[in-house]
Structure 1
Amino acid sequence: MDRVFFTGLAIGMISRLIMLNLDQKQYPAHPNILLSQIVLAFVASSLGALLVPALINRSYTSITFLSLAAEQFRQVRESRRNTLQNLEDVQLVKRGEAFIEEIARTYEVRNYMCITTSLITVGVYYMIVSDLKIGKTPSLIISAILGLALAFILKKLLTRQSIGDIADVVESKISFVDGSIMQIGDLKGITNIGLKSDRERYLTKGIGLEIIPKDKSYTNAGVLYDPGQRQAIVYNLYSRLGLLREHNEPAFVPLPRRNPKNESIMIAYIPIEKDIEKAIEAVKSCPILSSAKGKNLSLKNYTIGKKGSM
């Protein structure tokens, strides 16, 4: 019992650890947040590993503990959501409600992943020992291998697409027309920058980016249309490159704008360090939010720029 419990616990913990790198990439967090995730993974993995032997011994009250754990994980989601919402007012670039909800949901789902992998690992062990009459040590090895395989399968299933999967990101020139009207590429009217010093900062330190839907697809463009997705993109830029502005400088708040000519998104951004390659990678790594999907299914057969399409 001890060996299979610790094996299930280890597999559950490993399944969480292999997701930490992805979480850090898509949802940057502080070390204390990562530590709390590891502790929660330990609790979830323990519950999953104990459930099978408890049911074998007809201890059906264990299901009650499982339901209590699920309720606790929902509270973790609520707590994470509230924490991020409380921090919104002190952010130079806000995450936005959609991105916050996506992060909170992710933190909850990862715990269920730990329960599932540890539960399946221990369950397979008992099934092999009782049905196939294989020795305990070989059964432990087989169940551990299957548990690890399940962990990697779940990782693949739970990995979100990024902006780089549906769009190309290229540099675009920032300029000003009619004195103070910002233009990015061939799209003018982004915003009005009144002060000459502010315009000079954009021209010398700013980066212009164009996010172009791949395959001229309205489905891909529909994801970029979503306001929550656009806000997540500019926050991803901020979290990786910083932003050269103060709270009392509204002229430097990044404003993603749609270019109706090719359905791309144009962004003017002033990072602390001007590095176009890092900026492009920051945009491409932004996760696609669940709330941004599925709103343009009727447009999937249309092509941007094709005669007869939209």
Structure 2
Amino acid sequence: MDKIFFIGIMIGIISRLIMLNLDDKQYPTQPNILTSQIVLAFVASSLGALLIPALVNRSYTSITFLSLAAEQFRQVRSNRRDTLQDLESTQLVPRGNSFIEEIARTYEIRNYMCIVTSFITVASFWALNNEVKLSENPSIIISTIIGLIVAFILRKLLSRQSISDIAEVSIVDISFEDDCVLKVGNLKGITNVGLKSDRERYIKHGIGIEIRPKNNSYTNAGILSYPGQRQVICYNLYSRLGIFRESNEPAFTPIPRVDPETRSLYIAFIPMERDERKIIEAVKSCPVLESAKGKNLSLKNLKIIGKENE
């Protein structure tokens, strides 16, 4: 089983690599985090590949390594959470606690995915070679294909919804009423902007964003209304497009507000590059938090009736 052991490890690592594109899309990362994830994928895949030989040889005590691995992966989750929380004060637009917890949980779950894929790969080989009495090479080929299929199935299952699944995004005008009250689209009263130079920057460089719940659904509106989800949208805009402000300019901090009638979310944002297409894509690619789901479920059969729908 030496060949299939190493193949199982490789399949486990591949299952992690095919998730890196999704991770980078939803949670922008750095090279050192990439390296740590590949190393952890190797460790997790090795544990999964070793499980079948241990069971076959009735070395049940070796299974205790799984509990040690689970504890280690929980520690990885805790370390990642602590690191991101320590960096919050350095962000021009913070991630928010909800997003940090979501990222930390994701780093833990991905390691379990490596264990499952490598385990199923080796288990498939053992079943084909010993139970079905298939020769070694065909067993290796079939079990490798099964492992890859499982990896892609898990990728599909672990993929999160994005804002594009629950809302429509469009660009709207920014204006000021009563001299200093910021208005985005149809929603007045986002914030007060006292300095004339700040108002001029909003008019010249700012862009208004409207995020409307799909199907006038209260369920989708509940997700957009969740404070943690709003903060994630603002951070996703900042991480992808930058923001035209300094740390001592609170007037330009994006403040998402919900229209109480239409339940649409409005944001005034000043990107480094005023590209409407990229802005819409950045909002649509933002992940939907697990903690944001389940809001307004009792109203799922009702439709939002606001001034835009009358």
TM-score (structure 1 length as normaliser): 0.98
Provide the residue aligned with 1:58 in structure 2: 58
| Alignment map for 1:248-287 (pairs within 5 Å) | 248-287=248-287
The AA in structure 2 aligned to 1:247 is: S
Provide the residue aligned with 2:302 in structure 1: 302
Cα distance in 1 between the residues matched to 2:269 and 2:93: 11
| Alignment map for 1:1-310 (pairs within 5 Å) | 1-305=1-305
Offset at residue 62 of structure 1 (A) = 1.4
- Give the secondary structure class of the aligned counterpart of 2:71: helix
Offset at residue 306 of structure 1 (A) = 7.8
Cα distance in 2 between the residues matched to 1:98 and 1:261: 26
The aligned length equals 307
Q: Relative to 1, partners in 2 of residues 1:172 and 1:306: Cα closer, same or farther, differing over 3 Å?
A: closer
Cα distance in 2 between the residues matched to 1:61 and 1:248: 58
Cα distance in 1 between the residues matched to 2:183 and 2:235: 22
Offset at residue 63 of structure 1 (A) = 1.1
The AA in structure 1 aligned to 2:211 is: I
Runs of 4+ displaced beyond 3 Å: none
Report if aligned partners of 2:54, 2:63 keep a CA contact under 8 Å in 1: no
Report if aligned partners of 2:168, 2:214 keep a CA contact under 8 Å in 1: yes
Cα distance in 2 between the residues matched to 1:34 and 1:161: 23
Q: Which runs of 5+ in 2 are unaligned?
A: none
Offset at residue 2 of structure 1 (A) = 1.4
Q: Which runs of 5+ in 1 are unaligned?
A: none
- Give the secondary structure class of the aligned counterpart of 1:183: strand
Q: Any idea what the Cα deviations from partners look like across 1:257-290, whole Å, max 9, x if unmatched? A: 0012311000000011111111111110000000
Cα distance in 1 between the residues matched to 2:172 and 2:63: 57
Cα distance in 1 between the residues matched to 2:70 and 2:261: 48
Cα distance in 2 between the residues matched to 1:218 and 1:47: 44
The AA in structure 1 aligned to 2:261 is: K
Cα distance in 2 between the residues matched to 1:45 and 1:171: 45
- Give the secondary structure class of the aligned counterpart of 1:61: helix
Cα distance in 1 between the residues matched to 2:178 and 2:147: 64
Cα distance in 2 between the residues matched to 1:30 and 1:38: 13
Q: Any idea what the Cα deviations from partners look like across 1:60-97, whole Å, max 9, x if unmatched? A: 11111111011000000000000000000010000000
Cα distance in 1 between the residues matched to 2:270 and 2:45: 44
- Give the secondary structure class of the aligned counterpart of 2:175: strand
The AA in structure 2 aligned to 1:264 is: S
The AA in structure 1 aligned to 2:212 is: I
Cα distance in 2 between the residues matched to 1:22 and 1:180: 41
Question: Percentage identity across aligned positions?
Answer: 69
The AA in structure 2 aligned to 1:111 is: N
TM-score (structure 2 length as normaliser): 0.98
Offset at residue 175 of structure 1 (A) = 0.1
Report if aligned partners of 2:261, 2:306 keep a CA contact under 8 Å in 1: no
- Give the secondary structure class of the aligned counterpart of 2:103: helix
The AA in structure 1 aligned to 2:278 is: K
- Give the secondary structure class of the aligned counterpart of 2:117: helix
Cα distance in 1 between the residues matched to 2:106 and 2:62: 25
